[in-house]
Amino acid sequence: MTRSQSLAVGLGALGVVFLLIALLYALGVLQILTSSDSGPHYKHAVLFAVLAVASFVAANFARPKTA
Amino acid sequence: MGLLQGASELFPVSSLGHAVIVPSLLHWNFKQSDPSFVPFLVLLHIGTATALLVLYRSQWVAIVRGFFTAAIRGQIKTDPERLAMLLLVGTIPAAVLGVFLESRIKSFFASPYVAATFLIVNGLLMLGFEVLRRRSERGTSRSEQESHFGDAECISFVAAAIVGACQAFAFVPGISRSGITIGGGLIAGLRHQEAARFSFLLATPVILGAGLIEIPELLHAGIPLGEYLAAAVLSGIAAYASARFLLRYFKSGRLDPYGWYCILAGLAALALLHFGL
């Protein structure tokens, strides 16, 4: 994987966005691309939480390592 | 139903296709449009996933440990760490497609006729995977042919993502999740047994995750939970036995017999459904 500070920051920011989306789905605020128009959507929330974790992991991989 | 699902889930013959076709043919009292039908299947899937967790318990311990070690270190150094990251990369596309498309695809294709037709397509895919595989094989004996291919840990990250995304095709009744991922693994250069192992490992988090999320729905659906749990246990036992059998079979076996089975079963199901037998 290409290591760069800016890529790591970008992936970290993406992780934060995914985490916020997960929270909004869990609270029932976000209703985009869901089967019903009301209530919390835990399936979507879990998915975006997993995406957030994956983004943070990828950010750590992209971070330049000190020797 | 539990035994049928558990046995057919890991064989490359589409458990969902069988779950749609067999009750229709045997006139079992299952309505596929019933709101409790999918949660019931999900409960059976939890039985299957538990069987896979038990079968690969030591590997899963190493994978989970490898995931955290590599994630914190930001670097992959061992095979379990690489496998953990491959499984993450393979699971994400399936999870995204599953959350946004699964219910739409399943409701669109939930007909025994469609399932039987796609069972034939599944059979053709299995035969196609083996045709492609044979082109890159060398040697005469099966062990010699297999020796040129690699372990699950050798698969590239791009290939893992593609194989993972292919799991979404299994939302169509008749298309086998294990079949399509084993086939993808073969094309990516894995030995048959390793392709099966990668397929089973890849299936576990998706099946388990989808099942655990659906549990609250089960409690609301007003279903006979005791009977459904018994079916899940039977499903797990059948899945465990199936996985053990398949891992031994794929030491030298191929997908062809399952391909032919799917074609014949699909044709037979279409005929039986058409003539109302």
Reported ipTM: the value is 0.86
- Cβ-in-10-Å burial (0-12, 13-18, 19+) of B209 comes to buried
Q: What are phi and psi of B190, to 5 degrees?
A: -95, 155
pLDDT at B157: 92
pLDDT at B1: 79
Choose among B49, B63, B27, B106: nearest CA to B233: B49
Contact at CB, A43 and B99, closer than 8 angstroms? yes
Distance from CA of B99 to the nearest CA of A (A): 7
Choose among B35, B91, B96, B167: nearest CA to A36: B35
pLDDT at B151: 87
Q: What are phi and psi of B150, to 5 degrees?
A: -105, 180
Best residue in B99, B101, B107, B108 for a mutation probing chain A (most A CBs within 10 Å): B99
Q: Which residues of B touch A56 (CB under 8 A)?
A: 71
Contact at CB, A57 and B88, closer than 8 angstroms? yes
Contact at CB, B103 and A33, closer than 8 angstroms? no
Low-confidence ranges of chain B (pLDDT < 50): none
Contact at CB, A54 and B75, closer than 8 angstroms? no
pLDDT at B38: 67
Q: How crowded is residue A16: how many other Cβ atoms within 10 Å of its Cβ?
A: 12
Q: Which residues of A touch B92 (CB under 8 A)?
A: 50-51, 54
Q: How far is it, in rounded angstroms, from Cα B146 to Cα B81?
A: 25
**Per-residue pLDDT at A1 exceeds 70:** no
pLDDT at B29: 67
Q: How far is it, in rounded angstroms, from Cα B209 to Cα B26?
A: 31
**Chain B 131-190, residues with CB within 8 Å of chain A CB atoms:** none
Task: Tell me the helices (H) and strands (E) count for chain B, helix number first.
Answer: 12, 0
pLDDT at A59: 95
- Is residue A61 very low, low, confident or very high in pLDDT (cuts 50, 70, 90)? very high
Contact at CB, A33 and B100, closer than 8 angstroms? yes
Q: Which residues of A touch B74 (CB under 8 A)?
A: 60-61, 63, 65
pLDDT at A15: 95
Tokens, residue A48: 């975006």
Contact at CB, A60 and B71, closer than 8 angstroms? yes
Q: What angle do CA B243, B104, B48 make, to 5 degrees?
A: 15
